[in-house]
Amino acid sequence: MGMAYFEELVLTKMKVLCLNPGPLKEKAKQNDLLVKEGRCMERSGAWANLRMPITLAYISNILKKEGHEVKLIDDVAMQYLRKGTDMNKLLDDFKPDFAVLNTAMQSAFAEDMDNARLIKDKSPNATIAYIGVAPSLLGKEIVQQGPVDIAIRREPEGIIAELAKKIENGEDLKDVKGITYIKDRGVMINPDSDILVDMDKLPYPDYENLPLDAYRTPVDKEMQVLIESSRGCPHRCIYCTGASYYGQKFRARDPKHIVAEIEHVLKLGVRRVIFWADTFTLNKNFVMELCDLMIQKGVNKKFKWIVNSRVNTVDLEMLKKMDEAGCMLMGFGVENGNQEILDYVNKGTKLQDAINAFKWIRQTKIRAAAHIIFGLAPFETKETIQKTIKFVNKLKPHYANFHIATPYPGTKLYEIYNEKGYLINKDYKYLESAHANISLPHLSDQELEYWRSKAFFNFFFRPRIIFQELRMLHSFKELINLAGNAYWFFDGWINAGKKIKKKKERENS
């Protein structure tokens, strides 16, 4: 009797589809595919690489541990590998009871919604939930579209098991915090979840069921994965969506657990890791302890790693320790070369902080990337942009990435630009930093795009950068990689604005 009861319990568990949706209506180029992870919502052409959907992979293993039959599909990555998933066949064969879709702001009402409609057509009784920044900020608008039943706000790992249990048992969702959902044709907005996910209690992401071949570094094309090191950012930059997803409380994982996960992915053949964090270097003691442990365990000799950082959270001692522990690349949010613009957006950094950070990192073997945003303040002019370009050249980063300010709904920047009439496009699917959605008093959208392209050319066609890349070549394979990166760079970034405009023209014709 006990065994029969157990078998009945197993049979009642759900079939769950964890899907990173790719485009259904048209075949996308590799560098047009979207990275959809937290506040990182950009085309794979950004750095000529794609990154794994780590939150979706966490959810997959969480629900497997709950006894559900889970199928994890990263169709974005499969399309990147030119092995796109036959979604019709998948849905005919699997017939999910519950589908969790990973989203980005640009895709939530476009390709993600197309996939949601297809799932609902094939399995009318399936419950469909969105995760990501888009449902965190636009939950009501999303569920009103029809096929999406639930928008999960902020971190989904803390409530996904409870939500799945309620759906499985056909129970009311009124007690599940942090969701927006449809009930009796009305929109219900439950209170925000007060659960801050304890990352040390999460299972590893479901690496084994992701197409790891798709995730490779832009520099050397080695296979890479994301390993989460911390969450939360206490800073209040008015343009960033990070705090709306992970919150403002900084939470670091136990370094012992991080190193154990590194050893796990090394067994899968991975040799490159991005430590996933809002700001990896926010807590120096954490960084030093993690680096010391990696050196002690010897894993620093087996892999290289990449992080992002703020210029006012590093010092020479930390950078030298990170270098010893195997760090190969750091991305810094420099943002602008004008102090008044940094102050306007509450960045909380000084120009001297950036000068110091890049001076110190040049004393190590770590490569540095500077991320720049044009149009962050209404008083941006061609003169302030020119000053920023000169400032970046002064910093001498190995790489630079130039963006146009993208006011996302839910941010203070959006409120300001919307109120002042600076937003010229409110269609979410075009909210990308390669394309100007704003027109400022002293800079039109076309001028912003011109200066972005000019900044790229000014930086990457300087003899210093060309010789830098040539000096780093050690084999014919690396030369091929460099040529491939150059192609992706021009096709994926310099022409990005033009491609978006052409797409809009086709839709309007």
pLDDT at 460: 79
Contact residues for 264 (Cβ-Cβ < 8 A; gap 6+): 204, 207
Question: Of 410 and 237, which is predicted with more confidence?
Answer: 237
Nearest to 395 by CA among 334, 447, 451, 441: 334
Q: Among 42-51, 125-134, 455-464, which stretch is predicted with the lowest mean pLDDT?
A: 42-51
Rounded distance between C-alpha atoms, residue 231 and residue 262, angstroms? 18
Residue 5, pLDDT score: 32
- Return residue ranges of the chain for CATH 3.40.50.2300: 11-189
- Indicate the DSSP class of residue 209: G
pLDDT at 31: 74
CB 372 within 8 A of CB 401: yes
* DSSP strand pairing (150-152 vs 15-20): unpaired
Burial of 133 (0-12, 13-18, 19+ CB in 10 A): buried
Question: What tokens appear for 389 in the block?
Answer: 């370009």
Q: What is the mean pLDDT of residues 86-110?
A: 96
> Fold for domain 216-508?
pyruvate-formate lyase- activating enzyme (3.80.30)
Distance between CA 159 and CA 332 in Å, rounded?
A: 32
Closest CA to 410 of 133, 126, 95: 133
- Rounded average pLDDT over 163-192: 95
Are 127 and 17 in contact, with CB atoms under 8 Å apart? no
The average confidence (pLDDT) of the chain is 89
Between 314 and 32, the more confident residue is: 314
Written as six digits, the tokens of 100 are: 């969790």
Q: What is the mean pLDDT of residues 45-63?
A: 86
Q: For residue 231, what are its two tokens?
A: 């969450």
Using left for φ > 0, alpha for ψ between -120 and 50, and beta otherwise, residue 288 falls in alpha
CB burial readout 178-205, b (16+ within 10 A) else e: bbbbbeeeeebebeebeeebebeebeeb
Please tell me what DSSP assigns to residue 492. Answer: I
Whole-angstrom distance, CA of residue 230 vs CA of residue 278: 7
CA distances (Å), origin 433, targets 194, 260, 438: 32, 36, 11
Residue 327: phi and psi, rounded to 5, are: -65, 130
Q: What pairing do the DSSP bridges indicate for beta strands 98-102 and 15-20?
A: parallel
Closest Cα to residue 449, out of 430, 465, 464?
A: 430
Between residues 359 and 494, the one the model is more confident about: 359
The DSSP output letter for 52 is -
Asked if pLDDT for residue 262 goes beyond 50, the answer is yes
- What's the sign of the alpha-carbon dihedral 236, 238, 240, 242? positive
3-state secondary structure of 118: helix
CA dist., res. 50 & res. 30, Å (int): 9
Query: Which comes out higher in pLDDT, residue 505 or 401?
Result: 401
Side chain identity at 327, as an amino acid letter? C
Round to whole Å and give the CA distance between 186 and 200: 37
- Out of 131-135, 198-202, 251-255, 469-473, least confident range: 469-473
pLDDT at 44 over 90: no
Residues belonging to the chain: 509
The reported pLDDT for the residue numbered 8 is 40
**Do the Cβ atoms of 217 and 478 come closer than 8 Å?**
no
Tell me what the mean pLDDT of segment 378-405 comes to. 96
Mean pLDDT along residues 305-312: 96
| H/E stretch holding 166 | helix 160-169
Element (H, E) at 289: helix 284-297
Q: Per-residue pLDDT averaged across 449-472, rounded?
A: 77
Residues 6 or more apart from 300 whose CB is under 8 A from it? 291, 294, 324, 325, 326
Task: Flag whether pLDDT at 107 surpasses 80.
Answer: yes
Predicted pLDDT of residue 428: 87
Instruction: Output 196 or 503, whichever has higher pLDDT.
Output: 196
Where in the chain are all domains bearing CATH 3.80.30.20? 216-508
Structure tokens at 104: 């980005």
What's the CA gap between 124 and 120, in Å, rounded?
5
Two structure tokens written together for 394: 């002064």
CATH assignment, 11-189? 3.40.50.2300
What does each C-alpha distance from 217 to 206, 212, 305, 328, 489 come to in angstroms?
Answer: 20, 12, 10, 11, 14
Span 174-199, average pLDDT:
93
**pLDDT at 220 > cutoff 70:** yes
Q: How far apart are CA 303 and CA 272, in angstroms?
A: 6
